[in-house]
Amino acid sequence: MINLEIPKKFGALINQAHQAAAEIFRPNSRKYDRAEHTYPKELDIFAALLDGVNASGEGGGGASGVRRDSTKATGIRNGANMSTVLGTIELCWGDVGFLLSMPRQGLGNAAIASVANEEQLARFGKLWASMAITEPDCGSDSAAITTTAVKDGDHYVINGEKIFVTAGERSDAVVVWATLDKSLGRAAIKSFVVEKGTPGMAVVRLENKLGIRSSDTAVIRFTDCHVPAENLLGNPEISQGFAGVMQTFDNTRPLVAAMAVGLAHAALEETEKLLAEAGVKVDYDKPANNQHAAAAAFLALEADWESANLLTLKAAWMADNSKPNSLEASQAKAKAGRVATEITLRCVELCGSLGYTENALLEKWARDAKILDIFEGTQQIQQLIVARRLLGKSSGELK
């Protein structure tokens, strides 16, 4: 039975994450929004503290992925998935770009945690890993990847170009999706850990972006890049290909949903404060139609936020309890990504000039929110996945 009340054991974690967001992330948020591509040095101390928390077994402070562990005792569990989601929500109440800039907490780390074997986890677990999937001619359809990995003795030779790689310049390694044989389609797609400094790998450009400007976004090119065969994550057999690679998303999509939930909560909180200062009080004891129009609109936004929050917690809970959560991960990502975009834009409208200028962070949050509806699978792709799961259709049957 699912109980989505916040477990008491995570109280300290949530308080610590919120304190970091309030004292480190948010006070420096505008500074690094204006200084795009500049690494937030304030994160170094916090990242070191987070490493200590994760090493102690508490986990949950950043965006790192987690593993399902079927060896644990039976019974209802709230484990690393739930703690990571809760920590992510609090940190993104401070700033999403800062979370994406945290050393050793990249989305590539979630990929490693999802599909690496124990030996690979020991080798790569301490790296800061970014994720490289999207290509110039391949966006939402991951199965259309053209970057190749050709076996050459005890190495794979990777050729191709990846775009929109979050933390691509700053990270220690990149998890690269590549195909072993284009003629075999998605079944031949594998993920490889390519460490920085590997000959043939080059960061060729940094993107200027609408939002999350404190996080660098890179274009990376691979030219005859030789990667050790043991850096192929998971099972090297083609028959065990795309399904294992896609398992990564079951862990990362709830994390992106959590980012959206945290950001939207920040916007709602700020908007309620500004409305109160303008004399508009949100009354939870009155029907919405008996209140100021702005208060009624706010209540509708809050209800939408609550549904996104609960879907996100459900997806994390299912992963902690070794239940397949592909459907729930996509539902959470679709709902939270859309809600964050809609809430932040509506909050800008409700607050008028205060929402549109740099006097408040609302305009920045509106810009930051859009990416959360795009990366890790767009809104449209999530809806397609949900439809396939509910209707029992394959990707070939429902496109």
Say whether pLDDT at 14 is over 60: yes
Nearest one of 49, 55, 30, 50 to 40, comparing CA atoms: 30
User: In the chain, which ranges are E strands?
Assistant: 129-132, 148-152, 155-166, 173-179, 189-195, 201-206, 217-228
Beta bridge partners of 149: 158
10 Å CB burial of residue 378 (0-12, 13-18, 19+) is middle
The CATH number of domain 242-391, selected from 2.40.37.20, 3.30.70.260, 1.20.140.10, 3.40.50.720:
1.20.140.10
pLDDT at 232: 96
Region of poorest pLDDT, from 112-116, 227-231, 308-312, 316-320: 112-116
Out of 2.40.110.10, 3.40.50.300, 3.30.1360.70, 1.10.3720.10, the CATH code matching 129-240 is 2.40.110.10
Longest Cα pair distance anywhere in the chain, in angstroms? 73
Q: Return the residue matching tokens 């294992």.
A: 244
Q: Which residues pair with 179 in a beta bridge?
A: 148, 189
More confident residue, 182 or 297: 297
SS3 content of the chain, % helix, strand, coil (to 5): 55, 15, 35
User: Highest mean pLDDT range out of 113-127, 133-147, 243-257, 356-370?
Assistant: 356-370
What pLDDT score was predicted for residue 119?
93
- By annotation, the residues acting in catalysis are 376
Q: Is the pLDDT of residue 55 over 60?
A: no
Structure tokens at 365: 């949050």
Q: Where in the chain is the domain with CATH 2.40.110.10?
A: 129-240
Question: What integer pLDDT is reported at residue 61 of this predicted model?
Answer: 45
pLDDT of residue 317: 92
Q: What pLDDT is stored for residue 66 in this prediction? A: 45
Residues 6+ apart with CB under 8 A from 240: 234
Q: What would the pLDDT profile of 128-150 be if each residue is shown by its tens digit?
A: 999 999 999 988 777 789 999 99
Residue 78: partners with Cβ closer than 8 Å, 6 or more residues away: 7, 9, 10, 317, 320
377: alpha, beta or left? (left if phi > 0; alpha if psi -120 to 50): left
Query: Cβ(93)–Cβ(113) under 8 Å?
Result: no
CA distances from 26 to 18, 96, 99, 266 (A): 10, 10, 11, 10
Split at pLDDT 50, 70, 90, the class of 30 is: very high
Let me know: does 368 contact 96? Beta carbons within 8 Å: yes
> Which class is 8-124 in CATH?
mainly alpha
* pLDDT over 50 at 60, yes or no: no
- pTM comes to 0.93
pLDDT in tens, 66-104: 455 554 555 678 888 899 899 999 999 999 999 999 988
- pLDDT tens string 159-172: 999 999 999 999 99
Interacting residues of 364 by C-beta distance below 8 A, sequence separation 6+:
29, 30, 33, 211, 358
| Averaged pLDDT of the chain | 90
Intervals of CATH 1.20.140.10 along the chain: 242-391
The two structure tokens encoding residue 271: 């908007």
Quote the CA–CA distance of 171 and 157 in Å, as a whole number.
Answer: 21
Q: How far apart are CA 386 and CA 363, in angstroms?
A: 31
384, containing H or E segment? helix 379-391
Which residue, among 165, 152, 169, 13, has the nearest Cα to 103 in the 3D structure? 169
The pairing of beta strand 201-206 with beta strand 217-228: antiparallel
Query: 62 pLDDT exceeds 50?
Result: no
Packing angle, helices 80-94 and 242-277, rounded to 10: 40
Q: Residue 63: its pLDDT value, please? A: 44
pLDDT higher than 90, residue 248: no
* CA 372/CA 233 separation, integer angstroms: 26
Interstrand relation of 189-195 and 155-166 (parallel, antiparallel or unpaired): unpaired
- Give pLDDT tens digits for 250-309: 888 999 999 999 999 999 999 999 999 999 999 999 999 999 999 999 999 999 999 999
Element (H, E) at 331: helix 326-350
